Amino acid sequence: MASIATQIGERSENLAKRESRGVFLKFAYLVLKYGSAYQARAHLDAERVTPRVREIVQKAAIPPATLSDWAAISDYQNISEAFQESLRSLSVFDAVLADGMVKAPLRSRGFSVTTGIIGSAPNELAVKTISSLVLATQLLEPKKASAIVIVTKELLSVAGSQQLFANELTKAVTAATDTAFIASLISSTTPSASAGATLANITTDFDTLLAAVTTSATSRLYYVASPTNIKGLVAKANAGGTPAFPELTITGGPLFGGITAIASDSISSAAALLFDATAIVGNADLIVPGRSEAGTLQMETAPDSPPTSATTLLSLWQNDLIALRMERFFGFTLMRSSGAASLSGVSY
């Protein structure tokens, strides 16, 4: 059992993290409501902000106060990182980034082994064999996850609406991150067909996945499936009637043998994915909020890209509309092809 001092330390750390997450959301709320930290500073008294929020807003409110300026503000980085850590329960990518993924700076260059060195044990006086090593150069190229919603000025002035939009935009950004992350890992594999829905079939499926993924003593294995298929695993019982996966919940959790399961809306309902987090190199920048009242947009969820002469554009300024945005840069690369495996036709 942890000592009293350890428990107090853990609770203090948790309180500090919760405070930082609250500070981040309040800061995002102010930026979304007033347009920028520079404009928000005139309303700090009316908003009754805490001293820490006031300090961050005032530091960030230095013209031109671009989003990239905030990354240089150490306290903003602290609260943003604390907020990203809180996304572990919402995001596969953030869960893996916090526990197992090898972190490297975005835009850095790394190497993956495509053909490894093979040793030999020659007989006495026999010629020693020569092996080869083939490396593939990979760049940790940043990807962008962005969520934008258009609202009227009247709606944004409703009490509590800014907090709602901040929360929903953040969820959308993390979902977009997961969609890109999971799709990329699955595309690097050759999916095996699921054996079926019985417990014996499920055991066969796990055997197939584990055989395809190379592991080491430091591996951190994650299993990702749709919420429906995770619920199917939760309901499975052995011949004695006891749960086959007693620690598993409908959102995920310990599966067996140290494997962590995660239920995700960003994976196909007929797919399942197993991967070793230590085989992935990645990282993510800060999540930053933004707002615009002067843009010209195509009001479509699937806009023309690039715009054509037939694209219909709408002026935000002329129509008293406001664009709210949350955005992040992230990157990852699978450093060995045997670091992931997937199933198709899953229906548990």
The pLDDT tens digits of the residues spanning 21-55 come to: 667 777 777 777 777 777 787 888 877 787 877 87
- Binning pLDDT at 50, 70 and 90, where does residue 88 land? low
Q: What is the pLDDT of residue 134?
A: 57
Higher pLDDT, 158 or 283: 283
- Predicted confidence band of residue 84 (pLDDT cuts 50, 70, 90): low
**Please, are residues 229 and 347 in contact by the beta-carbon 8 Å criterion?**
yes
Q: Give the containing element (helix H, strand E) for 233.
A: helix 227-235
Helices (H) and strands (E) in the chain, counts: 11, 15
Q: Give one DSSP letter per residue of 261-298, joined into a string.
A: EEE-TTS-TT-EEEEEGGGEEEEE---EEEEESS-EE-
Confidence of residue 108 (pLDDT cuts 50, 70, 90): confident
**Is residue 296's pLDDT more than 60?**
yes
Q: Is the pLDDT of residue 149 over 80?
A: yes
SS (H, E, C) 112-158: EEEECCCCCCCCCCCCCCCCCCEEEEEECCCEEEEEEEEEEHHHHCC
Average pLDDT over residues 270-283: 95
Adjacent-strand bridge partners of 322: 151
Surface-to-core class of residue 101, CB atoms within 10 Å of its CB (0-12 exposed, 13-18 middle, 19+ buried): buried
> Percentage of residues in the chain with pLDDT exceeding 90?
38
Q: Do residues 341 and 274 make contact, with C-beta atoms less than 8 angstroms apart?
A: yes
Residue 306 or 340, more confident: 340
CA 117 to CA 125: how far, in whole Å?
Answer: 22
What pLDDT score does 80 carry?
A: 59
* pLDDT confidence tier of residue 8, bands split at 50, 70 and 90: very low
> Which residues does residue 134 pair with via DSSP β-bridges, in sequence order?
115
Separation between Cα atoms, residue 226 and residue 272, nearest integer Å: 8
Indicate whether 86 pLDDT > 60.
Answer: no
The whole-angstrom separation of Cα 67 and Cα 75 is 15
Question: What is the percentage of the chain residues whose pLDDT exceeds 70?
Answer: 79
Which helix or strand (DSSP H or E) is residue 328 part of?
strand 321-334
The pLDDT of residue 18:
59
In our burial notation (b when 16+ CB lie closer than 10 A, e otherwise), range 120-148 reads: eeeeeeeeeeeeeeeeeeeebeebebebe
The strand pairing partners of 115, in sequence order, are 134
